[in-house]
Amino acid sequence: MSALTDKRIVLGISGGIAAYKSADLVRRLRERGADVRVVMTRGAQEFIRPLTFQALSGNPVHSDLLDPAAEAAMGHIELARWAGLILIAPASAQLLGKLAAGLADDLLTTLCLASQAPLAVAPAMNQVMWHHDATTANVDRLRSRATHIWGPAAGSQACGEIGPGRMLEPDELVRRVERLFGNRQLLASRRVVVTAGPTREALDPVRYISNRSSGKMGFALAAAAQRAGAEVTLIAGPVALATPTGVKRIDVTNALEMRDAAEEAADACDIFIAAAAVADFRPAQVAEQKIKKSDSRDEDRLTLVKNPDIVAAIAARRKLRPFTVGFAAETEKLLEHARGKLQRKGLDLIVANDVSAADGGFDSDRNSVTVIDANGCETLPSALKTELADRLITVIASRAVQE
């Protein structure tokens, strides 16, 4: 079975010279078993005839919102519900603007509003248009609504200029579609445990020590592992995030609770991924009642004790030892510190993350990381945490699953 067998893809085509490449894209998607329905804007039809896409997709091409005959065959709401993915390639500057504004003045934009399917766009335009503040704002807005922005690539353009604005090549788009559907079953029947979020170490019933971890990276990894076919247990510190579909979640508050849950879950897992920002220390004593200012001296000292290192303990196991992955969030000497941690903690692989970078780190939706193991390191470019998670799971699976 191919990776895209029976996957239902609405391929939107907007006006741009790159539309000719979409013909090849349809062919490649169909070769992998996808069911493709093409929707063209009026602008797209100026560049390439619908008949081409009808022949390649094996389905009638949709272009009119208000065509009674087309609506009778498969109406726009039906098409919106049918889609497992809406991919718009090429996506013109105009189309990105309309999507960002939530306009629905033709079939393609209406479909995007009426569908709950994931939306991916492959921008293609002149490089000055791509760099324009208006386009940047539109793309940021779409990204904040979880739209996948694929490309553009840089290079020579049809208009004779050089710069970013070329639509990604069809084979790259197909790879991304496959990744999005996560149907490669890289981790089929594997059991994966992920720790995520911060821990809270209580001082008294109302106060605690904690850190800025949002849990987004760990949750994205749990979702990505699940998409790759794994049975996933997510051990989460206190975060305000929805549980990814199909993932078993265990909520914990402090490091000792996280350790207990992790040790138990690790007994029956193949891959252990420690993405949690576990507090290194906890107060030596937890006051039963709220500590009163009036009972304290002007300079009071807090006595802390070290928390157990959860991931190091799991990596040090002799029996029931899973493939063990840690994270290193650093503000300086990223690779040096990460390599040190890889060795000290006895990990199989470490994901190094510069949390001082403006684009990435704790609260950000984006991240850029370097993966390090005994064989060397590989830097993954900055991407949305959700996309980065898919890539990380691919790397982890390739190292952990040896068959």
Nearer to ligand C5P, 44 or 310 (CB): 310
Considering 112, 159, 269, 377, which one is annotated as catalytic?
159
Nearer to ligand C5P, 138 or 195 (CB): 195
Nearest to 232 by CA among 175, 262, 194, 261: 194
Q: Say how far apart CA 6 and CA 32 lie, in whole Å.
A: 9
Q: Say how far apart CA 94 and CA 114 lie, in whole Å.
A: 19
- Residue 209's DSSP bridge partners are 201
Sites of contact with ligand C5P (CB under 6 A): 195, 255, 274, 276, 278, 307, 309-311, 326-328, 341
Write down the least CB distance from residue 14 to ligand C5P, Å: 43
**The tokens of 246 are what?**
């199909």
Nearer to ligand C5P, 109 or 307 (CB): 307
Nearer to ligand C5P, 103 or 395 (CB): 395
Write down the least CB distance from residue 310 to ligand C5P, Å: 3
Nearer to ligand C5P, 155 or 340 (CB): 340
159 is catalytic: yes
Nearer to ligand C5P, 269 or 276 (CB): 276
Q: Say how far apart CA 142 and CA 362 lie, in whole Å.
A: 21
Nearer to ligand C5P, 213 or 368 (CB): 213
Write down the least CB distance from residue 265 to ligand C5P, Å: 13
- Do 317 and 272 contact (CB within 8 A), yes or no? no
Q: Say how far apart CA 172 and CA 174 lie, in whole Å.
A: 5
Write down the least CB distance from residue 81 to ligand C5P, Å: 41
Write down the least CB distance from residue 85 to ligand C5P, Å: 33
Nearer to ligand C5P, 274 or 388 (CB): 274
Write down the least CB distance from residue 267 to ligand C5P, Å: 16
3-state secondary structure the chain: CCCCCCCEEEEEECCCCCHHHHHHHHHHHHHCCCEEEEEECHHHHHHCCHHHHHHHHCCCCECCCCCHHHHHHHCHHHHHHHCCEEEEEEECHHHHHHHHHCCCCCHHHHHHHHCCCCEEEEECCCHHHHHCHHHHHHHHHHHHCCCEECCCEEEECCCCCEEEEECCCHHHHHHHHHHHHCCCCCCCCCEEEEEECECCEECCCCCEECCCCCCHHHHHHHHHHHHCCCEEEEEECCCCCCCCCCCEEEECCCHHHHHHHHHHHHCCCCEEEECCECCCEEECCCCCCCCCHHHCCCCCCCCEEECCCHHHHHHCCCCCCCEEEEEEEECCCHHHHHHHHHHHCCCCEEEEEECCCCCCCCCCCEEEEEEEECCEEEEEEEEEHHHHHHHHHHHHHHHHCCC
Q: Say how far apart CA 278 and CA 23 lie, in whole Å.
A: 50
Write down the least CB distance from residue 330 to ligand C5P, Å: 8
Write down the least CB distance from residue 266 to ligand C5P, Å: 11
Active site residues: 159
